[in-house]
Amino acid sequence: MPIINIQIMQGHSAEQKTALLKNMTQAVVDSIAAPLPSVRVVILETPRENVIVGGELGKEMALATVGLISGRTEELKAALVAALANAVEKSIGLSTQNVRTIILDTPTTDMGVAGGRTAKAAGR
């Protein structure tokens, strides 16, 4: 059940944000073979005045925080990181050099799924 929160700077068009949501979803499906109905992506927009990167106020950046049920290989995680960075570049034109990803492996006992059950209780 991949859950992705992607922080981007404010100011992107509705079309760019729609493309970002769709491209990030597909990146997850393609890179780690997650079932499409399980993928969640949320955009969080941040004002430029609230960001500093390398000492530069308002520098364009993106940060993807990904919640995954534990158990994926290092290779799958690397593929996911690359796919998400490429999805950001394709969607909003931000270089992959300015994209960061944090993967949070979550035990099945600590991830809630449909029906208000833990992933473990749901047999995942």
Annotated catalytic residues are 2
Residue 122 backbone dihedrals phi, psi, to 5 degrees: -85, 0
Neighbouring-strand partners of residue 77:
none
- 20/94 Cα distance (integer angstroms): 11
